[in-house]
């Protein structure tokens, strides 16, 4: 049986307390910072946990100790765990330093802003943080309910900004160097595959040592800015949690998320930093969250990732509703040329043209792979699904989950006005047109793939297309083939071919 502890609530903290013991929920944590102690030359570190034990009571707990001790805490303490913090020292928090009254005062903050006037400090050898094991005499109902606080907002969502308001702050070259921290309520539009980033880190003797860091990019959207904004996550625990977020289903309440102008994307982007707090799928559902879920249904015609295009093939418009005939030149003019309408993100067209490129038997990728376990689409450069759940499956079974194959074929259409090079024949449409499944196509020898290609190449077809205009999060236009059939010989005389 666990030893009974004399527990206190966070709201009762006082700077005079030196042996404060409480039970709380970990809602966030930072990556440890390591340094050399100037007194004895030893390597030490500090880990910051953000804990809460009530709807409005949360604060930061700093754990100081030797490198091995801090690394042990970092590995075993997880977001969502209920922990006992024993013999911590209470320290007053400088309210002016963490004030949110102005953007300039917030640029140098490293810890989440707490509504309480005190925080906790746990020093190695004096205090400790451990998994909470309840004692029969404890307030069992209260401490069991702590786990439910993980999905309760840390601040009122009514004060959150719209993405359009955030974008409006970055108008003009003079704003590109500014950094602000904002609160937003958004829906996850896409979770991109985990990527490795090389970064130089200054080591001993001032030599820069390259290290590899994991980086997760998530596209966030709301009704005011359907194109979405990019969120970059570097923290290990939040990368793992971010990989479980479901596109068009997961709602996030971001508190004090950093906004800065990205020269690469040429637009403002979000960054998860030390002071950022995230509430996943806030409960109970608020008006803002309900509006986001209704809005998410309208994002079905957005494709934020070209390799994941087949996921939207079951939500295409009906072919019989696509009736407006266009030439290749007219399609380009409607997309990026003189005839474009900025308020329209997609349109449909009927194109009668010759298939000039259809590389089924060459080196061009024409199959998208989907993980059968987590249902995410995986880029060709990855051998295994990078999500934490699937990696655990690999460790247990010794083999990764099988792939689900989908067609994602680039096709070029040519007529007398030009060549449309962004065509995509994908999903069930490709299976119907080609007459076989993607899994069966993968098994075909190259000779049969070549014969299949020449059943379509240099022949005239009528293609019904869905055209997706370029966006900030997807630089290129995408043209999806909704339906396609070969034109009869008696209709070919009505076309003027470019060949």
Same domain, 95 and 164: no
pLDDT winner (highest mean) among 136-150, 192-206, 366-380: 366-380
Residue 166 and residue 106 in one domain: no
Looking at the fold, whether 325 and 436 belong to one and the same domain comes out as yes
21, 5 in Cβ contact below 8 A?
Answer: yes
Q: Is residue 499 part of a domain?
A: no
Which of 150-154, 198-202, 211-215, 466-470 is the least confident region? 198-202
Examine the domain organization and report whether 476 and 339 are in the same domain.
yes
What are the backbone dihedrals phi and psi of residue 193, each rounded to the nearest 5 degrees, phi first? Answer: -60, 150
- Reported as a pLDDT band with limits 50, 70 and 90, residue 289 is confident
Integer Cα distance of 267 and 167 in angstroms: 8
Q: How many CA atoms lie within 13 A of 15 on its CB side?
A: 7
Distance between CA 379 and CA 364 in Å, rounded? 14
- What DSSP line would sit under 230-249, residue for residue? EEEE--HHHHHHHTTPPTTT
- Residue (of 311, 32, 107) closest to 189 by Cα position: 311
pLDDT confidence band for 102 (50 / 70 / 90): very low
The token pair at 365 is 């990728």
The verdict on residue 498 lying in a domain is no
Q: DSSP class of residue 18?
A: S
Three-point CA angle 450, 453, 455, nearest 5°: 120
Band of residue 106 on the pLDDT scale cut at 50, 70, 90: very low
**For 395-432, what is each residue's pLDDT tens digit?**
777 776 678 888 889 999 999 999 999 999 988 899 99
pLDDT at 40 (0 to 100): 83
Q: What is the pLDDT of residue 498?
A: 41
Q: What integer pLDDT is reported at residue 390 of this predicted model?
A: 78
Beta bridge pairs of residue 426: 408
Q: Which of 299, 315, 342 is the last residue of a domain?
A: 299
Give dist(CA 408, CA 454) in Å, integer.
18
Q: At residue 98, does pLDDT exceed 60?
A: no
29 occurs within a structural domain: yes
For tokens 């060459």, what's the residue?
A: 362
Region 4-32: what's the mean pLDDT? 89
Say whether both 22 and 102 belong to one domain.
yes
- How confident is the model over 275-300, as a mean pLDDT? 84
> How many structural domains is the chain composed of?
3
Q: Which long-range contacts (CB under 8 A, 24 or more apart) does 64-71 make?
A: 64/121, 64/122, 64/123, 64/124, 65/123, 65/124, 65/125, 66/42, 66/124, 67/34, 67/43, 69/45, 69/124, 70/32, 70/34, 70/44, 70/45, 70/46, 71/32, 71/45
pLDDT confidence of 202, banded at 50, 70, 90? low
Per-residue pLDDT tens digits for 448-485: 999 999 999 999 999 999 998 887 666 778 899 999 99
Considering the domain architecture, whether residues 141 and 229 belong to the same structural domain is answered as no
Residues 374 and 265 in one domain: no
Closest among 170, 189, 182, 185 to 227, alpha carbons compared: 189
Q: What pLDDT, on a 0 to 100 scale, did the predictor assign at position 497?
A: 45
The answer to whether residue 463 sits within a structural domain is: yes
Q: Look at the block and give the residue holding tokens 């879920």.
A: 293
**pLDDT at site 108:** 47
CATH number at residue 181: 2.40.50.140
- Per-residue pLDDT, 303: 55
The DSSP element (H or E) to which 443 belongs, if any, is helix 438-443
Does 118 reside within a domain? yes
- Model confidence at 393, pLDDT cuts 50, 70, 90, reads confident
On the question of pLDDT at 141 being above 90, the answer is no
Q: Is the pLDDT of residue 205 over 50?
A: no
Q: pLDDT value at position 177?
A: 72
In a domain, 1, yes or no: no
Q: N- to C-terminal Cα distance for the chain?
A: 85
Query: Taking residues 25-37, what's their average pLDDT?
Result: 92
Whether residues 108 and 204 fall in one domain:
no
Burial letters 338-372, b for 16+ CB under 10 A, else e: eeeeeeebbbbbbbbbbbbbbbbbeeeebbbbbbe
If asked whether residues 222 and 364 sit together in one domain, one would say: no
Q: Domain span at residue 338? A: 306-492
pLDDT at 197 over 60: yes
Which pLDDT band holds residue 323 (cuts at 50, 70, 90)?
very high
User: Can you list the alpha helix ranges (DSSP code H) found in 21-102?
Assistant: 67-76
Is 60 exceeded by the pLDDT of residue 101? Answer: no
pLDDT of residue 211: 78
Mean pLDDT over the full length of the chain: 83
Last residue of a domain, one of 280, 299, 318: 299
- Tokens 């963490």 correspond to what residue? 98
- Between 137 and 363, where is the model more confident? 363
In a domain, 72, yes or no: yes
Reported confidence tier of residue 265, pLDDT bands at 50, 70, 90: confident
221 domain-assigned: yes
> Percentage of the chain surpassing pLDDT 90?
45
What is the rounded CA–CA span in Å between residue 261 and residue 177? 7
The answer to whether residues 276 and 182 belong to one domain is yes
Statement: residue 491 has pLDDT above 80: no
pLDDT above 70 as % of the chain: 84
pLDDT at residue 7, as a whole number = 83
Query: Quick one: average pLDDT of 306-315?
Result: 52
Q: How far is it, in rounded angstroms, from Cα 349 to Cα 335?
A: 12
Are 337 and 483 part of one and the same domain?
yes
Which string of DSSP letters, residue by residue, matches 341-375? -TT--EEEEEEEEEEEEE-SSSSS--EEEEETTT-
For residue 307, pLDDT beyond 50: no
What is the rounded CA–CA span in Å between residue 310 and residue 101?
46
> Which of 148, 182, 205 is the last residue before a domain boundary?
148
Is 233 in the same domain as 275? yes
């Amino acid at each position: 049986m666990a030893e009974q502890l004399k527990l206190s609530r966070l709201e009762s903290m006082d700077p005079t307390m030196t042996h404060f013991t409480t039970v709380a929920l970990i809602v966030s944590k930072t990556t440890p910072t390591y340094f050399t102690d100037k007194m004895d030359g030893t390597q030490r570190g500090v880990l910051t946990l953000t804990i809460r034990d009530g709807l409005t009571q949360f604060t930061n707990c700093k754990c100081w100790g030797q490198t091995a001790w801090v690394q042990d805490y970092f590995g075993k303490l997880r977001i969502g765990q209920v922990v006992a913090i024993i013999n911590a020292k209470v320290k007053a928090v400088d309210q002016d330093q963490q004030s949110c009254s102005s953007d300039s005062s917030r640029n140098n903050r490293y810890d989440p802003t707490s509504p309480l006037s005190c925080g906790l400090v746990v020093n190695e050898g004096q205090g400790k943080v451990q998994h909470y094991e309840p004692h029969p005499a404890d307030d069992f109902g209260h401490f069991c309910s702590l786990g439910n606080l993980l999905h309760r907002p840390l601040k009122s969502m009514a004060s959150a900004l719209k993405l359009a308001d955030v974008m409006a702050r970055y108008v003009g070259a003079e704003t590109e160097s500014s950094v602000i921290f904002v609160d937003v309520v958004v829906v996850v539009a896409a979770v991109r595959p985990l990527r490795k980033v090389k970064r130089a880190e200054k080591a001993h003797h001032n030599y820069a040592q390259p290290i590899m860091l994991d980086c997760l990019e998530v596209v966030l959207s709301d009704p005011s800015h359907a194109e979405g904004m990019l969120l970059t996550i570097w923290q290990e625990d939040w990368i793992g949690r971010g990989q479980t977020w479901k596109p068009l289903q997961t709602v996030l309440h971001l508190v004090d998320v950093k906004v800065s102008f990205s020269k690469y994307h040429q637009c403002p982007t979000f960054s998860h930093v030390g002071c950022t707090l995230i509430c996943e799928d806030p409960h109970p559902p608020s008006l803002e969250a309900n509006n986001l879920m209704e809005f998410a249904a309208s994002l079905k015609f957005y494709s934020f990732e070209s390799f994941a295009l087949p996921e939207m093939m079951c939500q295409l418009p009906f072919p019989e509703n696509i009736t407006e005939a266009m030439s290749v030149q007219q399609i380009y003019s409607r997309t990026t040329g003189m005839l474009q309408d900025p308020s329209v993100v997609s349109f449909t067209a009927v194109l009668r043209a010759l298939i000039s490129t259809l590389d089924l038997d060459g080196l061009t990728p024409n199959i998208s792979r989907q993980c059968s376990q987590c249902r995410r689409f995986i880029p060709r450069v990855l051998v295994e699904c990078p999500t934490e759940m699937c990696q655990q499956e690999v460790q247990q079974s010794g083999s990764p989950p099988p792939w689900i194959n989908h067609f994602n074929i680039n096709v070029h259409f040519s007529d007398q006005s030009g060549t449309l090079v962004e065509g995509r024949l994908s999903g069930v449409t490709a299976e119907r047109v080609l007459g076989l499944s993607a899994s069966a196509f993968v098994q075909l020898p190259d000779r049969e793939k070549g014969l299949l290609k020449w059943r379509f190449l240099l022949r005239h077809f009528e293609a019904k297309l869905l055209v997706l205009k370029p966006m900030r999060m997807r630089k290129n236009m995408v043209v999806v083939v909704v339906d396609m059939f070969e034109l009869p010989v008696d209709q070919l005389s009505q076309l003027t071919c470019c060949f």
